[in-house]
Structure 1
């Protein structure tokens, strides 16, 4: 018998895994992402979130990778990724040395009678309404992972039609380069 888990239901990580956020600065070339993903797969790490965007200089891209797996293998993964052709550097970031944010869009089935309650929840989480129809609404909320999880949980009292969630984006605090 198989179990189906949807992305709308937060799942607690296994006790033997931990989550980590890596920033990888790479040459902006085809195939780089595939080679990096292979390192994680070979080491038994799961990629939980992935954001890739071109840098200020179009020759480079930044990858922010949220991963989970055995923390004992993390240093080895960072070393292996750093050795790959086209990788400039790879760092792990923690909440102490960086700012990490996510964004979620939540589409709700929402009657006019329930709309004020949904708008109060949206306001509580510092969100915005980005679409509104007579029977539905889309709210946008940004923040850390726990805030996003809490917002989705609060909106679950309505019928959630769908959610779209970005991966984490990270930036080092102070004048340190990410």
Structure 2
């Protein structure tokens, strides 16, 4: 084990602006795989009017020196325009969307609706036996909502992954 691997792991949110070329996502994921680091969350979206540029948001964990190395290697890839470590740059906003299916009848159904109201989750589908809630917010908020729903009849969870953006102008 190297000295780099012995340093404490920190959570980082990286945004990578890239040309919307086939294979770029595989190249980026390969950088993480080659170093044995996991991608905790990955989102990709087209951000240009002409569909030529995409933004990839990656949440990962690692010692600061390893994150710096990954960032430097990402910047060297040809179709990459910009790499930012939002965690290092300062105050930023992180959001995620989840669909949460909960089964229940009677009191558990009423309690699931009450909890959903507290978390500002919306009902997007309902049957006599289940609800599907839509919830958006910081990842910790969604984690808390899912944990409470586990006790009330959680059936299934689908999460989009985290998107992040720096606060302020610039």
Fold-level similarity (TM above 0.5): yes
What corresponds to 1:42 in structure 2?
Answer: 34
Distance 2:81 2:150 in 1: 42
What corresponds to 2:82 in structure 1?
Answer: 89
Q: Indicate whether 1:62 and 2:55 are aligned.
A: yes
| Residues 121-177 of structure 1 deviation map (CA, whole Å, 9 limit, x = unaligned) | 00111111111100000111111111111111111112211100111001121112x
What corresponds to 2:15 in structure 1?
Answer: 23
Post-superposition shift, 1:28? 0.5
Post-superposition shift, 1:114? 2.3
| Residues 100-121 of structure 1 deviation map (CA, whole Å, 9 limit, x = unaligned) | 1011111011114422211110
Q: RMSD between aligned alpha carbons?
A: 1.6
Structure 1: give runs of 5+ residues left out of the alignment. 1-14
Aligned length: 162
SS at match of 1:114: helix
Q: Which has the higher helix share?
A: 2
Distance 2:103 2:113 in 1: 13
TM-score (norm 2): 0.89
What corresponds to 2:141 in structure 1?
Answer: 147
CA contact (8 A) 1:44 1:69 kept: no
Q: Please give the residue correspondences for 1:1-178 in structure 2 after superposition, counting only pairs within 5 Å.
A: 16-57=8-49, 58-94=51-87, 96-176=90-170
Distance 1:54 1:170 in 2: 15
Regions of 4+ moved over 4 Å: none
